[in-house]
Each structure stands twice: as C-alpha cells, then as structure tokens.
C-alpha cells in the first residue's frame, strides 16, 4: 500500500480486525425476504445492535404507506418492514449519506435458506453478496473512521431500508430526506462484476399497472354489446412494446383478467416495466403511456386507469459523480485494488440518491456474484478489501477530496 498517510494507514489496518465474516453468516442465516415482515424484524434487531456501536441517534422507523393493485384491479395498502436510520454529527462541515438494505429476494418459503461454503474462500447463501456483506463492510469502515482523529470533520446519515428489492416505495421518502445537504453518498450493493468493477450510469425504472374496465356480455348472444378489457390490455401491451428503442426499454410483463369462455371479459390489468436511459427518455416514456392509454381506450371503448410511476429515476454519470468515482479509483490504487466501472441495466437506491442531486457510488459492497439466484456467492477476501476502500474514501472525503 502506497500513498497512505499515517492516519489513513491506521484506519486501513483497523478494518482488517473487524468481525465481518461472522456478521455475514449471522445476518444471512435470518430470512429477510422483502415481504417477510417477521424476518425483517428479526434481522433488524442485530443490525440495530451492531450499528449502535457508532455515535449518534439510531432508530427503526416505520415505512411510509404504499398502495398496490391486486389482480382484480382493487387497490389496498401493502405493509413493509421498518428502516434503520442513524445520524452522526449533523453539525460537521462535511456530510455524507451511506445506504444499504436488509431485505433479500428470497421469500420465507424459498428453498434457498442456508449459509454454507461453496469452496475455500467462497461463501454461499441468501443475501451473502446482496447485501448482508455490504452492511458488514459499511459498519467496519465506519468503525475505522470513528477510531481516526479525522472523524470530527465528517458527519453522516446511515439508512438501511427493508424494501430495496421491491423498489423502495416505503423508504424512498426517508432516503430523500437523508440525502438533503449531503456532499456525496456511498451505497453498498455488491460490485457489478466479481472482479470489483463498479456500476456507473444506470437507467431509471418505472412500474405501472394499467387497469382496464370494459363491459361484460354473453359471448354467443350479444358479444357486440360487450367491451373486451382483455383485448384492450393486449393491445396496450403490443403498442407499448412496439415503441421501445435504445433509450427506452419496455417490458409488458403480465396481464391479469379474463374469465369463462362464454363471457366477454370486463376487467384486465396490464403490468409493464419501462427503463429510460436519461431524464429526457423518462419524460418521453411518461408521454408514451398517456398517449397510448388515450388511444387504446378510445379504440376499444373502455376506461383505463394508470397506477404506478417511476420509482427509480435515471442515474447518469455527471461531472460531480465522475469526480467521486475518480476518488474511489485513486483510493483503490493506493490500496493495490484496481477499480473501474461500467454502465449497467440494473437499478437501486443509488438512482433515488442521484435524483436528489447527490453524487453517489452505489456498488461499494463485496465482490461476489449470481445474486438473486440460489447460486449467489461472496468472495470472502473482498470483505476486508472493500471495507478498507470505503474507510479510505470516507477519510479523503473528510479532507474535501473528490467534492
């Protein structure tokens, strides 16, 4: 390791002694699927205990109300888990936001439940990469920073939400609030590639439920008096799919509705995901939905209600974000860790943070791979590597570098 000050070297060394592997094994053994409220409470408790070692006020906050559309078109509130929120030194001159998530994509009844060694140095298990390891890395880095004489220069908020894997609808307001006044942000998603490559620009993501209401009729006696909602939903899906291009990916994913063969269906719901590459593409996507709904509703003589929105705005690589990435790259070079980045098609809370005008690197977590599958793995050596990278990055941000 070259180019480190005595203070930086001490912080880097501090990370090597952190009990990250044991924490990952403990936290990943608790099922915390996004809809498993009991499991989320069960993992929130040890997380809160662990992060309580840091100074500042820590609490578990209830999620904001979230409305969902059922297959029959009815709308109801859906419950989310609590979100961990920590504030440290809000009066310090440099303020950062640090975020992660406690939920996974694996439901309580999913067969992938246990933590085990796939091979020497490679841990398998639900959430070991995405992102129980990221939480351990974040905590180790902050403990190293708190042990440093530079700690007083920097304040931060930590948000660990319970619903990132389902779009962060219940925690988006908390993240936006915590982003206010922050100079930069780090998020602890796993690296984009197992070699440690960071995710650069990301598209946005919008999820919509288009609720179609037609008119029922007998399929044999008077079908002409009916208004086929299922057919209108299919026409919506085709029209939207035909509009996709390089700047806007569109995926009609599911149609709910229909019924007996002898009844013209009067109800359907089209589920569709749109991923715009830029804010301009998002504006174009919004206009496309409005125009398509108006056109299809008129052509099929049905009513169509639009439910949903763009919960993840596009995250371009602007000048401020590029400076932050370059700082992380410089820290990596001084630690002997080659750091690069590439654009990705995925989305995360980094999208929401960037939309608040805060530069963010959102893949500061562990090296691993095969996330969202039962082949998920964590490269254990990366725990210390990435904790050291974060600690050094935060200390240099405390000196105003990269801002």
**The domain spanning residue 267 has which CATH number?**
3.30.70.360
Which range of residues forms the domain containing residue 332?
Answer: 6-202+315-398
> Do 33 and 169 reside in the same domain of the chain?
yes
Residue 311 near residue 169 (C-beta atoms within 8 A): yes
Each residue of 12-30: pLDDT tens digit? Answer: 999 999 999 999 999 999 9
Please tell me whether residues 75 and 219 are part of one structural domain. Answer: no
Per-residue pLDDT reduced to its tens digit, 342-375 = 999 999 999 999 999 999 999 999 999 999 999 9
- As a whole number of angstroms, the distance between CA 368 and CA 376 comes to 8
Residue closest to 98 by CA, chosen among 393, 400, 380: 393
Q: What is the mean pLDDT of residues 291-299?
A: 98
Q: Are both 191 and 209 inside the same structural domain?
A: no
At residue 146, the pLDDT reads 98
Contacts of 17 (CB under 8 A, 6+ apart): none
Which CATH number is 119's domain given? Answer: 3.40.630.10
Average pLDDT over residues 107-115: 98
1 vs 198, residue with greater confidence: 198
Q: Give percent helix, percent strand, percent coil of the chain, each to the nearest 5.
A: 35, 25, 35
Same domain, 153 and 17: yes
Q: Same structural domain for residues 215 and 359?
A: no
Q: What pLDDT shows up at residue 373?
A: 98
Query: Is residue 292's pLDDT more than 80?
Result: yes
Q: What is the pLDDT of residue 1?
A: 66
Contact 63, 171 (CB under 8 A): yes
- The length of the chain in residues reads 403
How far is it, in rounded angstroms, from Cα 72 to Cα 266?
A: 11
Same domain, residue pair 107 and 223: no
Domain membership flag for residue 235: yes
Confidence of residue 400 (pLDDT cuts 50, 70, 90): confident
Domain boundary residue, one of 280, 312, 344: 312
pLDDT digits (tens, 9 = 90+) for 206-235: 999 999 999 999 999 999 999 999 999 999
Residue 294, in any domain of the structure: yes
Phi and psi for 9 in degrees, rounded to 5?
A: -60, -35
Could you say which of 312, 343, 373 is where a domain stops? 312
pLDDT above 70 as % of the chain:
100
CB neighbours of residue 3 within 10 Å: 11
Residue with tokens 């859906």: 78
Residues 94 and 188 in one domain: yes
- The reported pLDDT for the residue numbered 403 is 77
Residues 6+ apart with CB under 8 A from 164: 34, 101, 103, 171, 348, 349
- Asked, for residue 403, whether it belongs to a domain, the answer is no
Structure tokens at 22: 């044991």
Q: 209 and 198: one domain?
A: no
Q: Whole-angstrom Cα distance, residue 390 to residue 188?
A: 10
3-state secondary structure of 212: strand
CA-to-CA dists, residue 260 to 196, 211, 256, 269, 274, angstroms: 53, 19, 14, 17, 31
Q: Which of 265, 293, 312 is the last residue of a domain?
A: 312
Inside any domain, residue 111: yes
Arithmetic mean of pLDDT, 178-185: 98
pLDDT of residue 401: 82
- Decide if 31 is inside a domain: yes
Q: What's the Cα-to-Cα distance from 145 to each of 68, 71, 95, 372, rounded to whole Å? A: 41, 49, 14, 32
Compute the distance between CA of residue 242 and CA of residue 236 in angstroms, rounded to an integer: 10
| 259: CB partners within 8 A, 6+ apart | 265
Domain count within the chain: 2
Domain-embedded: residue 385: yes
Residues 390 and 280 in one domain: no
Evaluate whether residue 1 is within a structural domain.
Answer: no
Q: Give this prediction's pTM.
A: 0.95
SS3 label, residue 276 = strand
> Model confidence over 66-93: pLDDT tens digits?
999 999 999 999 999 999 999 999 999 9
DSSP secondary structure letter of residue 105: S
Asked if residue 35 is part of any domain, the answer here is yes
CA distance 387 to 32: 23
Pair 94, 150 in one domain: yes
User: Tens of pLDDT along 189-200?
Assistant: 999 999 999 999
Whether 289 and 351 map to the same domain: the answer is: no
Summarised one tens digit per residue, pLDDT across range 28-54 is 999 999 999 999 999 999 999 999 999
Q: Are residues 59 and 166 in the same domain?
A: yes
Query: Cis before residue 50, ω within 30 degrees of 0?
Result: no
The mean pLDDT value for 113-133 works out to 98
In DSSP terms, 124 is beta-bridged to: 116, 377
Task: Give the pLDDT score at 2.
Answer: 73
């Amino acid at each position: 390791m070259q180019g480190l000050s005595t203070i930086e070297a001490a912080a880097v060394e501090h990370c090597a002694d952190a009990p990250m592997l044991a924490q990952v094994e403990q936290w990943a053994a608790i099922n915390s699927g996004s809809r498993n409220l009991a499991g989320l409470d069960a993992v929130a408790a040890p997380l809160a205990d662990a992060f309580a070692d840091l100074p500042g006020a820590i609490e578990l906050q209830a999620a904001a109300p979230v409305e969902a559309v059922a297959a029959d078109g009815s709308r109801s509130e859906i419950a989310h888990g609590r979100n961990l929120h920590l504030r440290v030194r809000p009066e310090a001159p440099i303020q950062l936001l640090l975020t992660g998530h406690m939920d996974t994509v694996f439901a309580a009844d999913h067969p992938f439940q246990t933590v085990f060694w796939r091979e020497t140095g490679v841990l398998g298990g639900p959430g070991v990469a995405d992102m129980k390891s990221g939480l351990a890395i974040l905590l180790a880095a902050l403990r190293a920073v708190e042990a440093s004489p530079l700690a007083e220069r920097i304040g931060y908020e930590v948000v660990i939400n319970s619903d990132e894997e389902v779009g962060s609808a219940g925690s988006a307001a908390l993240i936006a609030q915590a982003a206010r006044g922050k100079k930069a942000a780090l998020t602890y998603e796993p690296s984009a590639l197992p070699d440690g490559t960071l995710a650069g620009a990301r598209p946005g993501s919008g999820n919509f439920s288009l609720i179609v209401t037609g008119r029922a009729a007998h399929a044999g006696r008077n079908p002409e008096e009916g208004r086929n909602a299922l057919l209108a939903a299919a026409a919506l899906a085709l029209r939207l799919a035909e509009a996709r291009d390089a700047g806007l990916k569109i995926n009609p994913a599911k149609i709910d509705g229909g019924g007996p063969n002898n009844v013209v269906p009067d109800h359907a719901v089209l589920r569709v995901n749109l991923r715009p590459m830029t804010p301009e593409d998002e504006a174009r996507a919004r206009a496309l939905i409005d125009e398509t709904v108006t056109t299809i509703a008129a052509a099929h003589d049905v009513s169509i209600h639009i439910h949903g929105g763009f919960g993840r705005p596009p995250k371009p690589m602007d000048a401020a974000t590029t400076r932050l990435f370059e700082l992380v790259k410089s820290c990596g070079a001084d630690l002997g860790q080659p750091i690069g980045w590439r654009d990705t098609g995925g989305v995360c809370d980094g999208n929401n943070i960037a939309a608040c005008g805060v530069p963010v690197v959102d893949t500061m977590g562990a090296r691993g791979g095969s996330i969202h599958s039962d082949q998920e793995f964590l490269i254990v050596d990366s725990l210390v590597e990435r904790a050291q990278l974060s600690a050094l990055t935060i200390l240099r941000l405390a000196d105003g570098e990269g801002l």
